[in-house]
Chains A and B, each alone.
Chain A
Amino acid sequence: MSTSHDRLPRLLSLVPYLIARPGIPVTEAAADFGVTPRQLRKDLELLWMCGLPGYGPGDLIDLSFEGETITVTYDAGMNRPLRLTGAEATALLVALRALLATPGLADTDAVARAIAKIEAAAGQAEPAGVAVALSAAEAKRTVETRTLVQQAVADGRALRMTYYTASKDEITERTVDPMRVVIVAGRSYLEAWCRRAEGVRMFRMDRIDDVTVLDEPAAPPPTARPTDLSGGLFQPAPDQQEAVLVLDPDARWVAEYYPVTELDELDRGRLRVAMRYADTSWMVRLLLGLGGDVVVEQPAELATRLRARAAEALSRARHLTVT
């Protein structure tokens, strides 16, 4: 992760960092700066050539190496790090404020103290201009579920829960071994080993209808790995099908809500997209709800099934005698 652009900030931080930790092993310092020990040694060799005007032996930064450890013996006046830039203070403080505003995420008292101290030390850093609500979509009930689940994760206890699977429109009882709680894109999830599915699953907190903390310990198998979230929560799976849809302006929100590939911008504000889906019954429910605002171009079976389902609904509705 070391690029030449990072080097000057690192060089300016290195001397004060070492002053605060006399005799620190090279490997440990390198890990803290996210560089190889070899790169760190190169940095130290460079700093050794720097110092104050005069640039005699007594003016240059002096370091002493003992075995694999380093100590600063002369700092040439560079004993404190550079203040935070506006962007750095923003990135840190906005994240802290987001943690503070989300119940149960972190020790809020500690977060508030950290914010106050960093604001004081950052001094004249610019006001933020960035704000983040981590879980604004959460209802009170969901926050209660999350709080309970978080405690189970912290205590390492298995859970028994009633869970609604939206893709299949079914409610199931499951016993799971919690791994962690994840908050992404305004929603919270429990990531756990599901004993029923025998795999790692993400459970949306607002779809957990009932949950009991069990006495038995959480024991995900050693092979259970947390999901890599760097590409977002929805990742294309090989067994998914793909539909080509034309969205009317009133249905364009679909392209913002679900991961789709935008194909063509059409007249009258319509949009042609390709959308992947794992479960046909889920896709039919979505499309039925969109009514005439969407046209299914492909696959033909999906369009047929959709029309049949709508016709069936209309026919049944005619038999409903409203009193």
Chain B
Amino acid sequence: MSVARAERLVNLVLCLLSTRQYLTAERIRGIVPGYADAPSDDAFFRTFERDKTELRELGVPLEVGRNSAFDAIDGYRIARRDYELGDISLEPDETTAVALAVRLWDSPELTGAAHGALLKLRAAGIDVDQQAPTVVESKVRTSEPAFGPLLAAVQARQAVSFDYRRPSPTELRTRTIEPWGVVSWKGRWYVVGHDRDRKAPRCFRLSRVVGDVRAIGRTEAFERPTGINLLDFVASTGGEPPARSTATLWVARNRAAGLRRRAKVIGQRVVDGVEGDDVQLDLGYPDSAVSWIAGFGPDVLVIEPDVLRKAVLERLLAIAGEVAVP
């Protein structure tokens, strides 16, 4: 931004803050330094439009209106109560919390916005020490390319469409949603919204969005439902609650430490000349338990339940290239 432009914009803000009257573009052209230099009407209006856009993007509330019914065209002013940050003072422990919160983001979109907020809090007289050492450092990353466009669509309340890949059963199809929010749950980002084709609320994992997110139609196109807790919604669609069951396994002596730390030894047994222990353990998610147990190979054998024993053997057979299921 050129010095002249920055100076003009600051003067424009000060001028519109100081007036109670709506000032027309022509009045502003006559008053605010910088606009008089415009070589033509056309050039002036182009510049003025750009300046208004810039201020609105920064969040400056430009009011548009007329002073009386006799005015032929709209004018502009800034209402001080809408412009100014409300009174705020924070206790030292509260500023510590704010400093921690600002450091949370590792995200092109959110880091900048958090720093913008911090700047304004400082301008309101609050001292925030960002370097203060903390015991816990937490970071939330947004590395998915879809994050930025989806966050923008959520904030603009604009519908989007994107190609979405579901892994199993495999399916790549275009989804069109009214996005209500983006959610980080168990270290993954999701977007929650109303699926226009399915006519129901759905959530989508950002890492499964393929290609670009396309904004559709106008902004402020829908209302976000008020009664919905986004985190709860994602948590409840994240998978069925684990069916817990107890399994009995054989574990070779001094092997499979990762499994042993969760198991209880109930006996000893020698299998094919190898010493080991019979153990019992509680299993949560059945499918990931199969992978986990199969991963230990010959070090862990399933005694029961039979369905688990067969599932583990299936995996191993597929790798060994054998076909018969015992």
A residues with a Cβ closer than 8 A to B are: 4-5, 7-14, 16-17, 20-21, 32-34, 46-47, 49-53, 55, 76-78, 80-92, 94-96, 98-99, 102, 104-107, 109-111, 113-114, 117-118, 120-123, 126-134, 136-137, 150, 153-154, 164, 166, 169-171, 180-188, 209, 226, 229-230, 232, 249-250, 252-253, 256, 268-269, 284-293, 306-307, 309-320, 322
Q: Are A78 and B141 in contact (CB under 8 A)?
A: no
DSSP majority for the A interface? helix
Tell me, rounded to whole Å, the shortest Cβ–Cβ distance linking A252 to chain B: 4
Whole-angstrom CA separation of A271 from B232 in the bound complex = 32
Q: Are B97 and A319 in contact (CB under 8 A)?
A: no
**Chain B contacts of A269 at CB under 8 A?**
165, 167, 170, 172
| Cα distance, A13 to B265, chains bound together (Å) | 66
Contact B18 A53 (CB under 8 A): yes
Selected from B10, B106, B224, B272, the residue in CB contact (under 8 A) with A316 is B272
Say whether A181 contacts B167, CB under 8 Å. Answer: no
The answer to whether B114 has its CB under 8 Å from any CB of chain A is yes
Using Cβ atoms and an 8 Å threshold, which residues of chain A touch B258? 164, 166, 169
Tell me how many residues of B have a C-beta within 8 Å of chain A. 125
Chain B residues near A256 (CB, 8 Å)? 188, 205, 207-208
Which residues from chain B sit less than 8 Å from chain A, CB to CB?
1, 3, 6-7, 9-11, 13-15, 17-18, 31-33, 54, 58-61, 82-91, 93-98, 100-102, 104-106, 109-111, 113-125, 134-141, 143, 151, 154-155, 165, 167-170, 172, 179-188, 205, 207-208, 224, 229-231, 235, 250, 256-258, 261, 271-272, 274, 290-298, 301, 303-304, 313-322, 326
- B297 touching A131, Cβ below 8 Å: no
Supplied contacts A95-B104, A171-B261, A181-B137, 20 more A-B pairs, CB within 8 Å: A8-B9, A8-B58, A9-B58, A10-B119, A21-B125, A50-B14, A52-B18, A53-B18, A78-B13, A84-B120, A90-B155, A91-B117, A98-B138, A114-B97, A122-B85, A132-B184, A169-B258, A249-B167, A269-B172, A289-B315
Are B301 and A8 interface neighbours, CB within 8 A? Answer: no
Please state if A12 and B13 are interface contacts (CB–CB under 8 Å): yes
Complex CA gap A81/B80 in Å reads 11
B138 touches A105 (CB 8 A): yes
Q: Are A50 and B59 closer than 8 Å at their CB atoms?
A: no
Contact residues in A for B94 (Cβ distance below 8 Å): 110-111, 113-114, 117
**Set of chain A residues within 8 Å of B320, measured between Cβ atoms:** 307, 310-311, 314
Q: Are A313 and B297 closer than 8 Å at their CB atoms?
A: yes
Q: Is the CB of A92 within 8 A of B122?
A: no
**Chain B residues with Cβ under 8 A from A183's Cβ?**
136-139
Q: Which 8 pairs show the lowest CB-CB distances between chains A and B?
A: A269-B170, A292-B318, A291-B315, A186-B187, A185-B187, A289-B291, A20-B125, A81-B123
CB-defined contacts of B119 to chain A, threshold 8 Å: 9-10, 13, 33, 81
A95 to B231, CA, bound (A): 14
Of the candidates A12, A121, A154, A180, the one whose C-beta lies within 8 Å of that of B86 is A121
Q: How far is the CB of B213 from chain A (nearest CB, A)?
A: 15
Residue contacts A-B, CB under 8 angstroms, 23 given:
A4-B1, A11-B10, A13-B120, A32-B122, A55-B33, A81-B119, A85-B116, A87-B113, A91-B117, A117-B90, A127-B224, A129-B182, A129-B230, A153-B136, A183-B136, A229-B139, A232-B141, A232-B143, A256-B207, A291-B315, A309-B298, A316-B274, A316-B301
State the CA gap A131–B85 with chains docked (Å): 24
A140 to B290, CA, bound (A): 24
